Each structure stands twice: as C-alpha cells, then as structure tokens.
Structure 1
Amino acid sequence: MAISLGACVGCGGAGPLGVTVAAALQFFAASQCLLDEPYPKQADVANSSRYDFIIVGGGTGGSALAARLAERHQFQVLLVEAGGDPPVEGIIPGFRSVLKESPYDWNFTTIDDGFSSQALEGHHEKQPRGKMLGGSGTINDMVYARGYPADYDEWADIVGDTWNWTNVLPYFMKTEHMTDRRIAENEELMKLHGLNGEIEVSGADNFDKSTIQFLKAFEEMGLEIVDDMTNPHKIGAGRFSHTIRDGRRDSTLTAMLNKVQTGNLHVLKDTFVTKILIENDTAVGVEAFLNDQQFYFYAEKEVIVTAGTFNTAKLLMLSGIGPKDHLQEVGIDVVQDLPVGENLHDHVMVLYFLAADSGTCSYNESTRLFEVIKYLHDATGALSYSDSMGAYLPQSADTPNLPHFAMYPTCAPVGQLTIEACTGGIGYTAENCEKIVEANQYSEIIPLPVVLLKPKSRGIVKLASADPLDDPMIYSGTFDNEEDLEGFPEAVKFALSLVNTTYFKEKGTRIIDLTPEECKTLPELDMIKCHVVHFATSAWHSVGTAALGGVLDAELRVRGLRALRVADASVMPRVVRGNTNAPVVMIAEKAADFIKDTYGLGNEIA
C-alpha cells in the first residue's frame, strides 16, 4: 500500500497549510522535546579499523540485524548508513508521506520502457526509498503485513524448508508486541502473534468515518469483514494493524537499534559505501566515503549487505558480483558471475479516483490546526495513528483464502489536493492531475488503488556506469508478461462497483474518467487493460535482485564467496502478498540466527 493522499492532516505537500504547519510542528516539537529520540551517536572511527561484522545499510533489515548481533558482547559490530538521523516528521504517523521526494529519500525512478506507465510524468514510476537511519521503515505507511503461507512455501520450493511458513512464523512472532485489541483478545488469532517482541503492532482506538463506510460498502459487495488482516486462513476486508507505539512510529530503528546500550555497536552515519573488498573469494571489508575522505573498514568475520533492493544490487555489482556481460560492459572486473539485479518485481498498482459529495472524510481544512495542537499537547489525535484498511480478492475459487488483488481506498477532503501534490506524490502528468484537482474543488476524492499482488513480470537493475555516485538504472518490466493483465478487468470492475453501494450512491459518488484517448474505442475488457498499462505504477514493494536460490544460498550467503551475506528485501525470490516491511524484519532475524549458528553461539529459536 502506498498512496495516502487523504491520510496526512496538515502535512507538507498535501494542502496550502502544509509547509506552515510542518514548520510550526518542528519548532514546537524541538522546543518541548516532545519528539526526542535517542538515535545512536556517530561512531569515532579510524581508517583501517577492524570489526567482527560490518553491516552496510541502516534501514529496516540493517537496524534489526545490528541490534541482534550487538546482543552478543563478544562481537564488535559496525553499521554504516548513507543518510543521517530522521527528522521529527519521521516519528509522526500522520506525516508518513512527507519525507518522500525529500533529501531523506533516494528519489529513484524507473527507466521509461516506451510501453507501460505512459500516463505518468516522464513515463516512469517513482521508487521512493528512505535515505536515513530506519531506511524505508521511516517513510512507509507502518502497515503490519506478512504475506501468506503459500508465499513462503514458494521460497521453500526454491531454496529449502528453512524458509517455509512453519519455519518463518516464529521469526515474525519474535519481534512482535501485539496490542491490537481485535487480535490480542482473540485466543485463536494470538496463536499466530507475539506478545514479547520489541516492535509494537497496534490498532487504532479511533476509527475514521471513511474507514467505517468503506468496510460497510465492501461487506455489501460480498466480502467478509476480518479482524486480522494477517490471518493466513481467512481473507476479506478489514483494518490493518500498524507499527505505532504511544502515538509515534515504531520500527527496527526506534524499538531495537536505538535501545542498544552496549559498547560494541558502532554506527557511522552519512557514510557512503562504494565497494565491498574481496580477497581470495572472501569479503574482508568495505571502501567508504565519510566527510569527503576515503576510508577502509575491515571485517574479521563477515560483511552483511542490507542496503535495499536497489542499492544492494548496485553495491554488489560495483564490487564485481553480478552478470558477467554487464559488468564487463561497464568496465568492472568480474569477481563472481551471478544474476544480481535480475528478478526485480513489485506489486503493480493502478489508481482510480472517485468523486463524492462531502461527509465521508474524517477531517477537513478547518480541523487541521486543531489536530496539530492536540498532537503537540499529548501525542493524540489524527496525527497519532493510522486507521488504514484494505480489501483482498482471491486468486481463484479454488483458493478462496489466498489473495491475488488488493484494494486500499482512502479519502481526501474537499480542496485538499494540489497539482503539485498530485504530480509529486503520485507522479501523474499535470493534465491528469488537473482533472482530479478540479473535481476536488467541490467534491471529496476517493483514491482507489487496485493492486496485483503476485506478478509474473520481471525487470532488472543495472549499473549506469562504474561510478558509485550514479543512480542504478531500474527497468521495472511491468507487464512484460501479459498474463499479469488477465485478472485486472474483473478486479477493476469489482473495485469501481463501490459507487453502487448504498452509502456511496447516496453521496453521488462517480468515477473520474482518466481513460487515455487511445483506449476509449476498444471493447470494455481491452479498454480496461489499456488503461491499466498506461497508469501502472509501483506499490513501492520491490524485491528480488539478490534472490535466494539464485544469488544467495539458503543461509543468505552470496554463492561462491565467503563471509558475505545479504539480508533485505532483495533476497525475496518471490514477492509476498502484502507489504514487505515485516517480512524484511523476519529476514533480518533469521540472518542473525544463521550468523550466531555459524560462530557456535546457538539458535535463538529452536
């Protein structure tokens, strides 16, 4: 889930008060120490210094792994992050969309393929990724999702049973502190959840009016309402649980890394790793730039890369690990010929927009400053929580509890949207944004994403050159397998039938027609497919570029090399049916146990 145009009350970029409110919030929060967070201090390091482990990337996976390894006092751990500490907006749930397209974002985009996403500005998909401690876990929507048993059983078919559902479930539960009352008070559901983990998984105490109406509408459309959207045995429509604690974002950074008090963890921020040093087929350290100076750091035991789907692939290839032909093409000596960068894929999202008479959205312009004051006073109110919801459609009648498409409606009040927010946040062309913003002058807008959860299409990440400062080249591959289009017409028609439900019909809800001219003369099903291809974008859950079974063995070790592992979303050989943050935490937890096993320190989970 990625689009939340209506989710941020008074946040930057979402309305005319955005910049003023954000600046005021920063000022008051700083003066009151309301949002203080004990981020790790910058390590005092010497060139050529040595550690047991070097972890490259302080995002979701890196923060979790560093915290777990630091629990063993005999290990000296260096965590290297290209960004710095998050700003105060990174803590506030209601500001979850503000940091995208900022200096705290790598601001990646895909390459125009001349086929898909042609209705988007520049004909490319935005790929926001966090560039700071916490990584994308500091800019995401905080949705707690795991995927489904079939997802991990697919992994097991590729690389072995250590990755099947039975064996990954305890690692989800290990980090989880479940407080969502809909789940925590249900004995059967709690058999699948943890109570003693570091990261709080909570439910909103306040229910947005829009969420209530969406759930009623989906129930009227025939979907079952479920209490636990991670339930592996039942799908339908329901509220998500979120990683939020006491009105603040909770993550592997805030709940784990920031809590490390031992002296054996060393965190380097604003430090850009440019190469993994490899000698005799063994990773021995990294080359990095800090304060415009070149440093070398050495690992006595292992280097672990947790830089994310795009930057992990980039760093491996810069280090000579990747497809032989491509490395030679850009002038890099080949260390190990592996399919790094290949197998890139993502959930495919197509946004539709509905316009409705006022009354569905929970907040409007007049309530924004009041909500900011409430948050500054005691971290409550609309900025302190998320009440997002979703609805899942099954893959087939034979698999009624295995989702294939998802819908994530939200609500934007009258007059909230701007051309800049639309072109920036969504990435649509100004022409398309004008139609949405014009409707928003007098109507509430309901963004209605329809998302394919299990695409067969594959893209690739390549190096632009051997220069580490060049962004990776991201070829999405969206709809390169035409089978991905097959289910879209039915899913889209189902989603748009929301306008015919009792409540939304009373609100005069109508579809904003953004259909490209070249699609309008086609038969209905082909017209929908044509529209889908034009408006397809990423759901920001890209995975697979250093996949288990292809680049890595079952214990996340790079094949053919020693002392080098990967532990982030790039390791997923197939994307899970849901948001990828919690699965990355699970991967990091398993990586920690693999490493501890390797050095005779035992497995945390029997």
Structure 2
Amino acid sequence: MSVMLGACAGCGSSGPLGAMVATALQFFAASQCLLSEPYPKQADVANGSSFDFIIVGGGTGGSALAARLAERHQFQVLLVEAGGDPPVEGIIPGFRSVLKESPYDWNFTTIDDGFSSQGLAGHHEKQPRGKMLGGSGTINDMVYARGYPTDYNEWADIVGDSWNWTNVLPYFMKTEHMTDRKIADNEELMKLHGVDGEIEVSGAATYDKSTIKFLKAFEELGLEIVDDMTNPHKIGAGRFSHTIRDGRRDSTLTAMLNKVQTGNLHVLKDTFVTKILIENDTAVGIQAFLNDKEYYFYADKEVIVTAGTFNTAKLLMLSGIGPKDHLEEVGIDVVQDLPVGENLHDHVMVLYFLATESGTCSYNESTKLFEVIKYLHDATGALSYSDSMGAYLPQNADTPNLPYFAMYPTCVPVGQLTVDACTTAIGYTAENCAKIVAENAYSEIIPLPVVLLKPKSRGMVRLASTNPLDDPMIYSGTFDNEEDLEGFPEAVKFALSLVNTTYFKEMGTRIIDLTPEECKKLSELDMIKCHVVKFATSAWHSVGTAALGGVLDAQLRVRGLAALRVADASVMPRVVRGNTNAPVVMIAEKAARFIKDAYGLDNEIP
C-alpha cells in the first residue's frame, strides 16, 4: 500500500506523467550520495579467529548491543548477520512496506492449524522479518512505542525487580533523542523522555489530512486526544512519534552501528550461523557458513544471540538447547532441557475495510510521482515522514488508562490497490482482495485494523528438521485460549462506528462486507467472533520463545549454561501493549549493562 521505488506506471508514456517519471529517475541517478549510508565493511577475519564477544544477528538488538560493547576498546566484538546491507528502500520512510516479501525478508509464515486464519490465503499468517543489517528495524513502520508500566511490572513479577517499569525507563531514555515538538515542548511529558540518545524520535513534518479526520472522528466517539502515545498515565487517540531523522529512517543500525569507528568491531555479513558451540556447559563459539564454506569462530567471554523471536529459538534448538522431547524427536543431542520455542505469542490483528468517497486521503496517484521527485531533490515531502496514528481502548472502567485493544486506520487513494498488492500486503485470498479492489476502483479504502494487545493464547516454534536451512515451524496458537475472543465484539463495533461520525457519514462511508457465509448465520456477537477467527493475523510483534524466567535468568543468561545470553524480542515473557522495536532497544541496552557489570566496567546508569 506504499509507493514502491521503481514502480514504473507511466514509464515510456508521453505527456506530463511520463516526463515526471523521467525526471524522477534522473534525480534518483544523481542522488545516490543522498540515499547512501556508511554501513560497516565486511570484516576480514580468518577461520578459527577468537573474539571477546560474538553477537549472532545484526538486527535491532544486535546492532545496539554491538555498538555498546564496541565502546570499550578492550573488547573485540564480532557481529554476524545472515543478510547484507539494506537497499535504498530501507532508508526512505515512505517506502516502509516495500521490502516485505523480498529477498530482504525471511518470509516466514505460520503453520495452518485448521482453525484460525482460515480466511487468509494458504490458511496461514505472514510473519515478515528483516534479513539484513538492521533486521526488522529496517522494514518496520518506525513507530516509537514502549508499552506500559504494568507490562514491565508483570515481567518483574516473573523474574525480578530489575525489569520493573522504574528500572527499564532509564534504558529507554538512554538511546532516545526526542524532537517531536508536541512532546518536547511539554515539560511534564519530557520527564519520561531522553534528549541525548542516538536515535531520533520525531514528529511528522506535516499532518496528513486523513489523520486529522480520523482523530476528529475518534474524539467524537468519546476518546481523549493525547499528545504522547507513550504516556504511561493517559490513553486515547493520537499521532505516534517515529524514529525518523532528516527525512530518513533512524534505527540502531543507522544511529549506532554505522557510527562505530573504534576498530574493535568486526561485522560479517551474508554469514549464516548454524550452531552455537558448547563445551562443558559453556558457550565457546559458533559454526557458520560464509561463501558456501564452513567457518568456526570462538568467544573468549560470551556468545549473545540476537537473531529474533523465530531464528533465536531455531538456533538454540539446533544447538541442543530446548525441550528434551522435541530435540530427541528430531535427533539432536540434548545439551540443556529448557522451554525454548514455547510461549510464542503476538498481538492479534483483524482487518476491516471501509469504502468512502474521495477526499479523505492526503495523496493520490497523480501526486505520488511529484512526491518522489521532491524526496529525491531534498529529502522532504510525503516520503520523508510518517503521520500514522492510533486509538487505544481500555479493557474495562477499572483500568481506564491501560490499553487492551488498538485501532490503526489508514487511507488508500482511489485506484491504488491491485489484487496482487492486496494479497502480498495483507495475505487475503484473491477472492476477497478482488472485492476490496472493486470498491477501490471508485472509492477510497480505509483499512481499519482492530488489534488485541494482551493475548492469553500461546503458540510455539519447532524445528522442521536438523537442516539449518529449513525454516522454523511456527504454530501461532491464535485463539488457543478462547478468552482472547471475548473483547473483540465490543472493540469491532466501536471501530466500525467510525462510519456514523459526522465527517465519515457525510462522505457516505460504508463497511465492505467480507464476512464469510457460515458466520452470517450466527447471532451478532458470535458472527463477529466467527469473522475474527477467520481473518485473524499477526501484527508482526511476536515474542516470548526464549523468555525471561523460563529460558533465561534475570540477566538474560541461558539457564544452566555459562557465557550464553539472548537479547531480542524472544526474551519478553509477555508482550508489551505496543510496538516492540523500542522495547528491544531497551533490552539490548540492559544486556550491555549486564555484560559490562560482569567484567567490572562502570556504566553511567546506576
């Protein structure tokens, strides 16, 4: 649904449209310096080399942790990433969706469970994950969210007070450079934000017309408009802050890893780690493939896995760390019997679609080419920022400022959707996508996700075989606990009531009915639940497969083993109420602190 770099509608045509495309291409050819990044060079290291620390996975957590450890000149750090450098699209905020289902994506999907998501193509949920430096932080929507104090206090109940809200907040602030004016100009809000960190957290350069309309509609429905969507004391509807700097994506890769110039950080790209080497219950190194050759690298101090919720679980199990029964079933010697791969869960998202008269979307087909030119000229315009918004609903009146459901409406201009784009972006069947595309031929489309933020259901990750090249088997467990369905009818009805607000009613807004026939025979509440089960999908925030308190101790160390830690989304025992990128940065900062403490090094955060 985003403008795609290289999309050539109008290429070769005559008239103004063809001229605009030609001009855009000329600007692109001349602007490679503008769109380049100083990514780390490929390390030249010999097979069998030793380092103090080996970090497996150069995504959000790995990039941050490598940069922090490299601050200490006495540490030799090896960072190993299965992918390479991001393409140009990874820099431009407006192209945030185009790398999904590309070679820069692991392209994971869940296993068909015969129950949930049966309305989706292949009866499975898409699970895009970045396969490049920056990882999923290079393909995400750049939303800056933290979750809420209750989320971290739940972690503390499981694993200890070092993970409660009071003790994690300084690690959010450490990396944060807040410039979003609606927050930065508020002295009270700024008590919870940082200004000296590496990653810029900014506000939109301009406000999209659609965002303004959505906010007014939610206010009409009784939600308070809030300036800071990370405010732990007040929820409602508002604009998100985003990790964007000067019209470019900002992340632990661009703001931290790319800035390391100490000479003690060695980065191996396009290097696929297949096993953690363990001797006498101690991690001593890794086995990896590079240029179709097998390599061994050794860690004098520690191996830290930051490969993400799915690949971390897979690598640990390939290394003999996981559930004894499963490892024996696939023929792997058990090194440590731990619940690796268990506790998988995610925010559960169900998309509804509204059709409305033209006038709500900020941009259309005729303006997007101009926006490409504007961005390539001076990194401004619609492609340089994001103005996404959300609306939070509490679970009940007893917790009015604790979100339980979220809604994230967007706007698709007339004629922009195709069946292929629809099936790729959201995973719907061609039949259902054709219904949406038919409406889009003459109407704007409002995708309206309704998202459960605190699911009780749990799935799992398992090995498909002992072949490290096989994708992990991902069992979503969506609605494994029926209690997760209970709140959906009320949340869905609230979301769809947008059509009855003043502006959207005037625009003739209507619901596109995709409800399966078998659901229509039921009562209203059961019909909504039936629809939700059929169309449930991931919000791409999966966590929990190497959880604190189960697989890990309070300092992110794998239980029963020495010199092995994990520092990515897999460590979350329970998912936070919000996007998971910023919490993963916090986790990496905590890991750096634990490691520096272990080796007697001071740190500025007490």
Same fold (TM over 0.5): yes
The one-letter code matched in structure 2 to 1:273 is V
Q: CA deviation at 1:29?
A: 3.7
Cα pair 1:594 1:603 within 8 Å, conserved: no
* Matched residue, 2:140: 140
Cα pair 2:21 2:369 within 8 Å, conserved: no
* Matched residue, 1:446: 446
User: Distance between the aligned counterparts of 1:18 and 1:554, measured in 2?
Assistant: 57
What per-residue deviation string (whole Å, max 9, x for no partner) do you get for residues 455-486 of structure 1?
Answer: 00000000000000000000000000000000
The one-letter code matched in structure 2 to 1:113 is D
User: Distance between the aligned counterparts of 2:186 and 2:338, measured in 1?
Assistant: 46
1:525 aligns with 2:519: no
User: Distance between the aligned counterparts of 1:9 and 1:50, measured in 2?
Assistant: 45
What per-residue deviation string (whole Å, max 9, x for no partner) do you get for residues 425-459 of structure 1?
Answer: 10000010000000000000000000000000000
1:437 aligns with 2:437: yes
Q: CA deviation at 1:603?
A: 3.2
1:420 aligns with 2:414: no
- SS of aligned partner of 1:400: coil
The one-letter code matched in structure 1 to 2:396 is S
Equivalences for residues 175-254 of structure 1 within 5 A = 175-254=175-254
* Matched residue, 2:164: 164
* Matched residue, 2:484: 484
* Matched residue, 1:496: 496
Q: CA deviation at 1:263?
A: 0.4
The one-letter code matched in structure 2 to 1:482 is E
Question: Judging changes above 3 Å, is the alpha-carbon distance between structure 1 residues 604 and 84 closer, same or farther for their aligned structure 2 residues?
Answer: same
1:60 aligns with 2:54: no
User: Distance between the aligned counterparts of 2:10 and 2:82, measured in 1?
Assistant: 32
* Matched residue, 1:9: 3
Cα pair 2:117 2:123 within 8 Å, conserved: yes
What per-residue deviation string (whole Å, max 9, x for no partner) do you get for residues 148-191 of structure 1?
Answer: 00000000000000000000000000000000000000000000
- SS of aligned partner of 1:436: helix
1:338 aligns with 2:338: yes
User: Distance between the aligned counterparts of 1:368 and 1:228, measured in 2?
Assistant: 29
Q: CA deviation at 1:85?
A: 0.1
User: Distance between the aligned counterparts of 2:340 and 2:464, measured in 1?
Assistant: 14
* Matched residue, 1:552: 552
User: Distance between the aligned counterparts of 2:586 and 2:78, measured in 1?
Assistant: 21
1:131 aligns with 2:125: no
* Matched residue, 2:30: 31
- SS of aligned partner of 2:272: strand
Gaps of 5+ in 1: none
Q: CA deviation at 1:11?
A: 4.6
* Matched residue, 1:76: 76
* Matched residue, 2:263: 263
The one-letter code matched in structure 2 to 1:47 is N
User: Distance between the aligned counterparts of 1:368 and 1:184, measured in 2?
Assistant: 31
What is the RMSD computed on CA atoms of the aligned residues?
A: 1.5
Question: Judging changes above 3 Å, is the alpha-carbon distance between structure 1 residues 64 and 601 closer, same or farther for their aligned structure 2 residues?
Answer: same
The one-letter code matched in structure 2 to 1:460 is M
Cα pair 2:64 2:253 within 8 Å, conserved: yes
* Matched residue, 2:276: 276
Cα pair 1:9 1:371 within 8 Å, conserved: no
- SS of aligned partner of 1:399: coil
Residue-pair matches, total: 599
- SS of aligned partner of 1:296: strand
Cα pair 1:203 1:241 within 8 Å, conserved: yes
Q: CA deviation at 1:368?
A: 1.1
The one-letter code matched in structure 2 to 1:31 is A
- SS of aligned partner of 1:527: helix
User: Distance between the aligned counterparts of 2:66 and 2:499, measured in 1?
Assistant: 48
* Matched residue, 1:591: 591
* Matched residue, 1:366: 366
Question: Judging changes above 3 Å, is the alpha-carbon distance between structure 1 residues 252 and 31 closer, same or farther for their aligned structure 2 residues?
Answer: same
Question: Judging changes above 3 Å, is the alpha-carbon distance between structure 1 residues 287 and 30 closer, same or farther for their aligned structure 2 residues?
Answer: farther
The one-letter code matched in structure 1 to 2:176 is E
Question: Judging changes above 3 Å, is the alpha-carbon distance between structure 1 residues 24 and 331 closer, same or farther for their aligned structure 2 residues?
Answer: farther
User: Distance between the aligned counterparts of 2:189 and 2:167, measured in 1?
Assistant: 18
User: Distance between the aligned counterparts of 1:592 and 1:112, measured in 2?
Assistant: 38
What per-residue deviation string (whole Å, max 9, x for no partner) do you get for residues 265-322 of structure 1?
Answer: 0000000000000000000000000000000000000000000000000000000000
The one-letter code matched in structure 1 to 2:30 is S
Question: Judging changes above 3 Å, is the alpha-carbon distance between structure 1 residues 203 and 22 closer, same or farther for their aligned structure 2 residues?
Answer: farther
Q: CA deviation at 1:36?
A: 1.3
Cα pair 1:10 1:17 within 8 Å, conserved: no
- SS of aligned partner of 2:277: strand
The one-letter code matched in structure 1 to 2:163 is W
Q: CA deviation at 1:352?
A: 0.1
The one-letter code matched in structure 1 to 2:549 is G
- SS of aligned partner of 2:395: strand
* Matched residue, 2:292: 292
Q: CA deviation at 1:10?
A: 4.8
Aligned identity (percent) is 88
Give the structure-2-normalised TM-score.
0.97
Gaps of 5+ in 2: 13-17
* Matched residue, 1:605: 605
Question: Judging changes above 3 Å, is the alpha-carbon distance between structure 1 residues 12 and 439 closer, same or farther for their aligned structure 2 residues?
Answer: farther
User: Distance between the aligned counterparts of 1:27 and 1:307, measured in 2?
Assistant: 38
Equivalences for residues 288-437 of structure 1 within 5 A = 288-437=288-437
Cα pair 2:106 2:129 within 8 Å, conserved: yes
Cα pair 2:5 2:89 within 8 Å, conserved: no
Runs of 4+ that moved beyond 6 A? 17-27
Cα pair 1:61 1:584 within 8 Å, conserved: yes
User: Distance between the aligned counterparts of 1:302 and 1:22, measured in 2?
Assistant: 52
Q: CA deviation at 1:16?
A: 4.8
Q: CA deviation at 1:71?
A: 0.1
Cα pair 2:214 2:409 within 8 Å, conserved: yes
User: Distance between the aligned counterparts of 2:78 and 2:162, measured in 1?
Assistant: 28
Give the structure-1-normalised TM-score.
0.97
